[in-house]
Structure 1
Amino acid sequence: MTLTMAHVSLFLDLDGTLAPFAPVPEGVGPDAARNSLLRDMQVCLGGRMAIVSGRSIADLDRILEGTIVAMAGSHGLQRRDARLDMLTARCHPKLAQAVREVAAFAEKYPGVVVETKPLSVALHYRNAADIDVQVGAFADDLADRTGLKLQRGVMVAEFLSPGMDKGRAVRAFMVEPPFFGTMPLFIGDDLTDEDAFAAVNAFGGVGVLVGPPRPTYARFRLDSVDGVHAWLAQALQTEVFKLEVPVGPSYRRI
């Protein structure tokens, strides 16, 4: 499939898509080559480009050095539109309790990392993969008791205010200029990106999964972060997005 750049809006996740994972979230930092590539892509698309991430917008600006205007942070609980208007959800009244309980849980298991954000708290256990069962039980219980939304990802459990996700963030962008009336293209790697894949499908767009095949709403796939960078660079040269590796039927969610 080939998509002419003039008719496309591009949405990108950050971790695992534009930047490789680091042992701790703050280990991901600015990269001059990547950020220059994104800056050029934003100009080429006439501003029809947004980052949609679980990170806060402040952290995204730190990593991307302010190169991208439109952003959705904290899974859509924060959103900055193309006019630089900021929309932020209210902090959930039980978030402080969740932060304390997540920190107490993490102290029991070496390698577990707690990421506290303005509107959520995340428990990363990529370096303690053998505690998946314990994390699952703890996360379900905490979500039930606090009313916070449990957002599961690859080796992460995050607790945040209900009501938003990456798909809803994409939908919000798509009814505003300069995105309105274009075909959305979403690139992401994590389970949290599935809502966005479903959203772009509903707009007649295309989702692209980064990484190995798995059950997904995405229709095409790229192998790695480096593959995403190369794909973006090729699109800048040709002014078309080429999608060449479809997701196999056995991995498609219908």
Structure 2
Amino acid sequence: MSDEPERDRSLRDLIALQQQFDSERSTTFDWSSPVTRNDVRPLLHNVLSLAGEVGEVANLVKKYDRGDFGFDTLISELPGELADVAIYLMKLAYQSGIDLEKAILDKMSYNESRFPKDDSARVELSSHWVFRKASTLAESLTDQATGVLTDAYVTARLRPPTAASALVAGALLALEVAQSAKAEGDRSGHLARWEELRPAAEDLGLSYEELVRLARSDLAISSALSSATAPTARPHQ
């Protein structure tokens, strides 16, 4: 172990220490062997071990919750269990050739844009998300799913869009409104989500009242879009 003060160690430093520790040990397999196309055993081992350590954290919290011990014991034992989780995360990353520190920083940067503090930015992001996802789903939309979505528009007394991406985008907006209404209470839920989705809805020419009518077919819409995302079965060789 290095004599460097612990507070000055970065995540990369900790991973290097773990890698050194692993390289000096072996049992029935090399503790530091890389994950490759031809050998994914290290990946399987680390993923299963990580799941086991997360289970240890859950078990500790479960025992506290049922009254086996007090809060002080929970807090005193939790760091060791979390450390085990972190160690297997580090092993999983370096043995797979992943720069975990960079991956975390990249994800934090992404989350900054995904969950902005400014409400207007959140509205713009919501609109962007709808059209991006709609474009992706439209590529795998089956004829049956297209028919279900078209029927949902007709039932809502709306003219179905001719473009598949627009058809899906409206359906996605309807699902968002339906889910918000169920979670937050009927009209208040509709209105709260509508304000966020208004830019995308207006781009599609959908009013608040029309979107609410379309949202009444949320179960059929959800089923149709789920079938569009389902993987295509591989043909028999």
Shorter-chain TM band:
under 0.3
Higher relative contact order (CA 8 A, sep 6+): 1
Larger Rg: 2
Tell me which protein shows more strand as a share of its residues: 1
Tell me which protein shows more helix as a share of its residues: 2
TM score, norm. by length of structure 2: 0.25
TM score, norm. by length of structure 1: 0.24
